[in-house]
C-alpha cells in the first residue's frame, strides 16, 4: 500500500495559494492604476506672499456660508434684503448676518482686500491717486506687520482701513468669540504699530463666511462688518477685460465693489482699475467709506 505524503500535499497547496494571491494583487494594482484620482475642490486662489499662504473665496461666494441653529437661511443678502422674522444686530445692515453690503448713499465705495502687497498695492495707490479717488483697504494682519510702510502710504493718501483678520482665516467665524476677538485685536495692533492713530472702523470676514459670533465681536470692538455688492471674482484671475466688464455692468448707486490688491497675481486687477476709473468717475461719486463706520 502506498502512503500519500502529507508534507508534499501541504507544500503544493501553499505554492498554489501564493501564486493566486500574487495574481490577484497584480490585477488589483492594475485596476487602481487605471482609475484617475478624484479632482480636488479648490477653495479659491491661493498665493504665497512673504511666507504667508492663504486662499480667497469659498467655491461659491454668493452662497450663504452658514445657517441659523434651526437650519433656516441666514438674514438678508445684498439682493434679497433682511429676513423680517430674524432678529438683527442693533447696527445690522443689508448683508448676511447683519453685515453692510452698501454705502447707504448714492456714493460708490471701491474696496481692496488681502494686502498690503509690495508689488500691487503701490500700483493701486498710484492709479487711485491719478484720478483723485479714495478707497477702502481691507488688510491682512500679517501683511500689515510685514509692510508697515504700505499701511502708512494708504493712510497718507486718505484711504480708509478695514480689518481682514490676521491670516485670512475663512473659518474665523466658526471659532470661539475669544479666539475671534484675539485675532481681530492682533490685526488692529499690527495696523496701529504702523500708524498709531489710524481708525480701523470696518471688519471684513475672509471669504464672506459670516456668522453671528464674528459680526457680534466686530461690533463689540467698534468695527462695522463690511460685505459687498459687486464681486468680479478677480481672485480667480479672469483677466482685466472680464474684471472691467463685470464691475462696469454691475455697479450702481450705493455699491460696495470688492477687488484685491494681494493674495496672488493681481496685475489683471490693476490693469482693470486703469480702465474702470474713467468710466466709474464719470457715472458715480467714488468715496472711501467713512472712517467712523457705516450708519
Question: Could you confirm whether 260 is annotated as catalytic?
Answer: yes
Beta bridge partners of 109: 256
Sign of CA dihedral 126, 136, 281, 101: positive
113 given a catalytic annotation:
yes
* pTM exceeding the 0.85 threshold for the entire prediction: no
Going by C-beta distance under 8 Å and a sequence separation of 6 or more, which residues neighbour residue 187? 139, 140, 141, 144, 163, 164, 165, 166
Alpha-carbon distance 150 to 115, whole Å? 9
| Cell 487602481, residue located | 32
pLDDT, residue 62, reads: 38
Q: Are 76 and 229 a contacting pair, CB within 8 Å? A: no
Sequence-ordered list of residues with C-beta below 8 angstroms from that of 165, at least 6 positions apart, any chain: 140, 141, 172, 183, 184, 187, 205, 206
d(CA 150, CA 143): 9
Calculate ∠ Cα 234-167-230, nearest 5°: 30
- Cα 200 to chain centroid, rounded: 19
Separation of alpha carbons 16 and 159, rounded Å: 79
Whether the CB-CB separation of 251 and 280 falls below 8 Å is answered with yes
Q: Enter the DSSP assignment of 194.
A: H
Q: Which of 100, 147, 164, 260 is an active site residue?
A: 260
What pLDDT sits at residue 18? 46
Pairing of strands 224-225, 109-113: unpaired
CA–CA distance, 154 with 157 (Å, rounded to integer): 5
pLDDT in tens, the chain (295 residues): 444 444 454 454 444 444 444 554 454 444 444 433 333 333 333 334 344 445 445 433 333 333 333 333 333 333 323 332 233 333 447 899 999 999 999 999 999 999 999 999 999 999 999 999 999 999 999 999 999 999 999 999 999 999 999 999 999 999 999 999 999 999 999 999 999 999 999 999 999 999 999 999 999 999 999 999 999 999 999 999 999 999 999 999 999 999 999 999 999 999 999 999 999 999 999 999 998 787 5
DSSP classification of residue 289 = P
Catalytic residue among 113, 114, 117, 261: 113
Paired residues of 92 in beta bridges: none
Q: How far apart are CA 233 and CA 239, in angstroms?
A: 10
Evaluate whether 241 touches 95 at the Cβ level (below 8 Å). Answer: no
Amino acid at each position: 500500500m502506498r502512503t500519500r505524503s502529507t508534507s508534499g500535499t501541504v507544500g503544493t497547496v501553499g505554492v498554489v495559494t501564493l501564486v493566486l494571491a500574487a495574481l490577484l494583487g497584480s490585477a488589483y494594482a492594475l485596476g487602481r492604476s487605471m482609475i484617475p484620482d478624484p479632482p480636488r475642490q479648490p477653495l479659491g486662489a491661493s498665493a504665497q506672499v512673504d511666507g504667508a499662504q492663504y486662499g480667497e473665496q469659498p467655491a461659491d461666494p454668493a452662497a450663504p456660508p452658514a445657517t441659523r441653529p434651526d437650519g433656516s437661511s441666514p438674514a438678508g443678502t445684498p439682493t434679497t434684503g433682511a429676513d423680517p422674522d430674524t432678529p438683527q444686530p442693533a447696527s445690522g445692515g443689508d448683508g448676511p448676518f447683519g453685515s453692510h453690503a452698501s454705502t447707504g448713499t448714492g456714493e460708490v465705495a471701491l474696496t481692496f482686500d488681502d494686502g498690503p502687497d509690495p508689488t500691487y498695492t503701490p500700483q493701486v495707490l498710484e492709479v487711485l491717486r491719478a484720478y483723485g479717488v479714495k478707497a477702502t483697504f481691507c488688510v491682512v494682519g500679517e501683511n500689515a506687520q510685514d509692510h508697515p510702510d504700505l499701511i502708512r502710504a494708504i493712510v497718507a493718501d486718505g484711504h480708509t482701513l478695514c480689518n481682514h483678520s490676521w491670516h485670512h482665516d475663512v473659518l474665523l467665524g466658526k471659532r470661539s468669540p475669544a479666539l475671534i476677538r484675539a485675532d481681530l485685536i492682533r490685526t488692529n495692533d499690527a495696523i496701529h504699530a504702523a500708524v498709531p492713530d489710524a481708525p480701523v472702523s470696518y471688519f471684513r470676514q475672509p471669504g464672506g463666511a459670516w456668522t453671528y459670533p464674528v459680526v457680534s465681536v466686530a461690533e463689540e470692538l467698534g468695527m462695522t462688518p463690511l460685505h459687498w455688492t459687486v464681486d468680479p471674482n478677480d481672485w480667480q484671475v479672469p483677466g482685466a477685460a472680464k474684471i472691467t466688464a463685470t464691475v462696469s455692468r454691475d455697479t450702481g448707486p450705493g455699491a460696495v465693489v470688492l477687488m484685491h490688491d494681494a493674495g496672488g497675481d493681481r496685475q489683471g486687477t490693476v490693469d482693470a482699475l486703469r480702465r474702470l476709473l474713467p468710466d466709474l468717475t464719470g457715472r458715480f461719486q467714488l468715496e472711501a467709506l467713512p472712517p467712523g463706520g457705516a450708519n
